[in-house]
Amino acid sequence: MPPAIRAALGPRFQAVLASAWISKRAAAKYVQEYVRRVQADSQSQKGDSSSEPIAFAPPIQVQVLDINEAAEYETLDAVNGGEDSLFHTRVKQNLVYGVADGVGGWNESGIDPSIFSRSLTAYSADAAQRSFLLHDSDETDPKDVMRRAFAGMRLDGIPAYGSATELVLSLSLATGKLRTAQLGDSTYVVLDDQQRAKFVAAEQQHRFNMPYQLTIPPTDDEPLPKRPPSEDDEDSAQFFRPTATLSSEESADKETRRRIDEDDFADLGAVGFDTPADAREDSHALEHNEVVVAATDGLFDNVRVEEVERLAERFMQAIKEEPTARPLPMAVDLFGGLAYSVAAQAVANYIQNDLRSPFAERAKLAGYNFSGGKPDDVTVMLAWVRETAKVRAEAQIREMQPKL
């Protein structure tokens, strides 16, 4: 295709994707040490009002990517976020990403739910990459990604037992359209260019604290022993990626594809399990400088949307200051700081016993006596949508033209 035509058909948008995650176990370890340091500092600084407070800085993992036509890009299919995981990949002019949250109740049966959630995101990344799109500007269907990922896990017969919620999002860089498929209480918020929520996704619950979830029950009489991952080494976290038959376009035979496409999960539905067919779908038309905040329930159980708005407003205002002088890499780093701050706010909130958290308020409505935050793994993914420089320049030229 000639360069001039490619430029004319190029995406209208580009995005910055910032991901932040911390496990409940890593946060608890940090908080214990932080309290010890604060108490020791308080004893040593008695009567000295000039001493600086110790900063609250939990060891949150952060990844920030500038997603544009020229930037190098590498798919991420899983992370060690405790029982949480995430993925992102690029499919032509679509950014496809999402989070999964393993259901912790399986620990009581000796099954590590983190294996299931990480495997689910790995299969989701692969399913997205194998989406059939005839044109560069075609949209990836997030519900179909979830469906084919879960069907692939079942077909492979991997010993990843348990359950997980999942949220899959597909952002078209060609048009700015965001499509979502949500199963459970991993939710998202769309912030406008003034960082005010213009859409807040509701949780998908059967009843209080029982979200919709994908499940693969153990097949043996005795479940596999739990194998907790290392908190110090992401690569040591156990999970399963698709087999070569599923992950390779060349070697995937028609029979394999047919079995995945024809899996209607009737066996699971017959015994009352949720399936990808139960996922709630939605779509949103995004504009320049809008932000999508997607997260597991570790965020929205502990942080109100208004708190997210305030943090976003502060960071985005700093990003927008002196736009001609501020280089884009600095803005990208600041956006990563926003992702870190949102996740850190969740940790700071859930260690407060007297906090009127969103989770505590929902528990009260359900008839339970609960106060404070809810300790949990926290995983957030923030997408900042921006019009390309070419589109912005064209808009400025149109504004300068005389009106008849």
Kindly give the parts of the chain with pLDDT less than 70: 1-9, 46-51, 220-237, 244-253, 322-328, 392-404
- Other C-beta atoms closer than 10 Å to the C-beta of 159 total 16
Rounded to 5°, the CA angle 263-273-242 comes to: 45
Please give the CATH topology (third level) of the domain spanning 14-27+56-350+378-400.
Answer: Phosphatase 2c; domain 1 (3.60.40)
What is the Cα–Cα distance from 306 to 312, expressed in whole angstroms? 10
Q: For residue 42, what pLDDT is reported? A: 80
Cα maximum dimension of the chain: 79
Non-local CB neighbours of 338 within 8 Å, separated by 6+ positions: 18, 311, 312, 315, 316, 382
| DSSP category for residue 264 | -
- pLDDT for 122-178, tens place per residue? 999 999 999 989 899 999 999 999 999 999 999 998 989 999 999 999 999 999 999
List the structure tokens of 394: 């064209």
Q: For residue 37, what pLDDT is reported? A: 92
Q: For residue 393, what pLDDT is reported? A: 59
Q: For residue 243, what pLDDT is reported? A: 81
What is the Cα–Cα distance from 42 to 61, expressed in whole angstroms? 29
Residue type, 191: L
Q: For residue 232, what pLDDT is reported? A: 47
Q: For residue 119, what pLDDT is reported? A: 97
Non-local CB neighbours of 294 within 8 Å, separated by 6+ positions: 97, 98, 99, 167, 169, 186, 187, 188, 380, 381, 382, 383
What pTM value is reported for the model? 0.91
In Å, how far are 17, 81, 91, 169, 235 from 87, measured between CA atoms? 11, 12, 13, 10, 15
Q: Where are the alpha helices (DSSP H) in 263-304?
A: 266-270, 297-300
Q: Where are the domains of the chain?
A: 14-27+56-350+378-400
